[in-house]
Amino acid sequence: MIRRTLMRRAYNSGNYSTARRHAQKLVHLPSEQQLAKSVIIRSYWNQQQYEEIVQLLQQWKDSELMPYLQKSIDQLLVLKAKGEEVSISLRGFQSKRHALLQKNQPIPVIEREWNKEKIIENFFQENQRIWFRFPQNYCYWDMPEDFNIEQVHPSLLGLVAELLLSPWHKEAKLQIQSPREKGSHPGLSFSAGTDSTAAYLVLPDDTILGYHERSFESQLKHDNAKKLINHLINVHDRKVFSIPSNHEIIRTYHDQSIGFSTDLACASHLILLADHLDLGGIAFGMPVDNSWLWKGRVFRNFENTPYFQYWRKRFSHAGLDLILPIAGVSEAGAMKICQQSELLPYLNSCMRKNGNGGCGECWKCFHKNGPLGRPFNFNAKEIQVFLNRKIIPTAMHALWAIDIMGLKNQAPLSIQELLENDFSWWDKVYPPSKEIIPSQWREHVWERICTYLEMMDAPYPLEMVNLYNERLQ
């Protein structure tokens, strides 16, 4: 009885671990079982320990608590889709969820067969909806009112087909259309996060923003993004197109989580709109962590990578410059750019909480919100698990975050040596990145970047980065 009171008291005052310790001692008593189980699951839920919930509820099959099983699986699938490691297998859950999602997608009024020989023939229009037939199903974009697919240059259609299908269908890569003439304005594939907002702030004022709006229900919420977008439209007087689309389902037919087929596929909507909006380039908010650094931890000569060489040429064939305005700026630098603008209150990278503020318990809250002075719990499970990994995700950025927040003494022993590095240069710009900005926009972008950030001094410390002594192929 006393234990029961202690358990309740601990739970109600938010001491979830203590509450769970009491509950675990009561869970074997038939009369206490129901309440104890409920406390265990709810306390794990409040601490965002979803893996434990899935494991326990699969054993218990407790009908009252079952909603927590589905909710936890959804949370874990979102984490996995974001590239975070999940320690339990979600395969079965994932394929069931995917089958349901695939079944619930709309189909066109007049159906078509997949055309393998002429890949661009798979695009067609019904009212304002642009359909794309792929081997297993259809996906779509809902375009602005006066959009007409007949007026879209074939090389734009070919590029979109390749971005969507090339990982699985080689034919999408081989069908090159006649070249398109370059348009006048830059477009920005805008996600409303820190990196793409930093890119927005350094691009010219005639840049047109395109927001990909996932059209089906998921854990990903658009509310925060919409707040920022409305602000840009109403206060900054900017053109922002939000295009609902479900093309992220293509990956689910290949046993992969919902998401973009290839990383540049996030701009499919803007590429389709390129003639309509007279675009001559597409910009992406790719920071140095993904360009000159491989996986945020080893230096590479990005300009010479087959990836950059190929896609620059491929985009240019479709009359589009591939613009990576912040490729020489780290995530820390991007944060610093946003910090100097009045847009900061509209930005929050935490995916766990909708609306105001972050959850304070996730990896994003640690490395994206923490350095901005926002509250987070350094001892939260996810943060500690990631910091204790053999290789820390987004390593340079995470180490910089610990350094700048003065948390070195509380960081795990295993990374103390890495923390002895100098991080003072990490929010500065890597000068050679200027050269990959297409000439038409280079001077403008560079001038803007220089108003926000300092340049790295030669010899550039970025070129020495190899945190775990890895050898790149």
Q: Which of residues 324-353 bind Zn ion (CB under 5 A)?
A: 350, 352
Q: How far is the CB of 82 from Zn ion (least distance, A)?
A: 12
229 touching Zn ion, by CB under 5 A? no
The residue range among 8-16, 307-315, 360-368, 416-424 that interacts with Zn ion, by the rule CB under 5 A, is 360-368
Q: How far is the CB of 49 from Zn ion (least distance, A)?
A: 14
Nearer to Zn ion among residue 337 and residue 350 (C-beta): 350
Which amino acid would we find at residue 430?
Answer: Y
Which amino acid would we find at residue 201?
Answer: L
Q: How far is the CB of 203 from Zn ion (least distance, A)?
A: 28
Q: How far is the CB of 379 from Zn ion (least distance, A)?
A: 14
Nearer to Zn ion among residue 44 and residue 138 (C-beta): 44
Nearer to Zn ion among residue 319 and residue 360 (C-beta): 360
Q: How far is the CB of 289 from Zn ion (least distance, A)?
A: 19
Nearer to Zn ion among residue 78 and residue 402 (C-beta): 78
233 touching Zn ion, by CB under 5 A? no
Q: How far is the CB of 372 from Zn ion (least distance, A)?
A: 13
Q: How far is the CB of 334 from Zn ion (least distance, A)?
A: 18
| Burial 363-396, CB ≥16 within 10 A → b, else e | bbbbbbbbbbeeebbeebbbbeebbeeeebbbbb
299's tokens: 């230096």
User: Which of 338, 362, 411, 437 is in the footprint of Zn ion by CB under 5 A?
Assistant: 362
Q: How far is the CB of 351 from Zn ion (least distance, A)?
A: 7
359 touching Zn ion, by CB under 5 A? yes
4 touching Zn ion, by CB under 5 A? no
- Let me know: does 260 contact 220? Beta carbons within 8 Å: no
Backbone angles phi, psi at 228, to 5 degrees: -65, -45
Nearer to Zn ion among residue 42 and residue 367 (C-beta): 367
Please identify which residue in the block is written with the tokens 């602005």: 144
User: Which of 40, 78, 270, 365 is in the footprint of Zn ion by CB under 5 A?
Assistant: 365
Q: How far is the CB of 132 from Zn ion (least distance, A)?
A: 34
Nearer to Zn ion among residue 41 and residue 350 (C-beta): 350
Nearer to Zn ion among residue 359 and residue 419 (C-beta): 359
Nearer to Zn ion among residue 302 and residue 376 (C-beta): 376
383 touching Zn ion, by CB under 5 A? no
Q: How far is the CB of 349 from Zn ion (least distance, A)?
A: 8
The residue range among 85-93, 362-370, 394-402, 437-445 that interacts with Zn ion, by the rule CB under 5 A, is 362-370
Nearer to Zn ion among residue 392 and residue 462 (C-beta): 392
Please identify which residue in the block is written with the tokens 């994003």: 364
Q: Which of residues 288-307 bind Zn ion (CB under 5 A)?
A: none
Binding residues for Zn ion, rule CB under 5 A, total: 6
Nearer to Zn ion among residue 71 and residue 317 (C-beta): 71
The residue range among 59-67, 240-248, 276-284, 357-365 that interacts with Zn ion, by the rule CB under 5 A, is 357-365
Nearer to Zn ion among residue 337 and residue 365 (C-beta): 365
Q: How far is the CB of 201 from Zn ion (least distance, A)?
A: 24
Q: How far is the CB of 380 from Zn ion (least distance, A)?
A: 9
The bridge status of strand 129-134 relative to strand 123-126 is antiparallel
Backbone angles phi, psi at 47, to 5 degrees: -95, 10
Backbone angles phi, psi at 281, to 5 degrees: -170, 155
Report cis status (omega within 30 of 0) of the bond before 459. Answer: yes
Nearer to Zn ion among residue 383 and residue 395 (C-beta): 383
358 touching Zn ion, by CB under 5 A? yes
Which amino acid would we find at residue 472?
Answer: L
220 touching Zn ion, by CB under 5 A? no
Residues forming contacts to Zn ion in the complex (CB under 5 A) are: 350, 352, 358-359, 362, 365
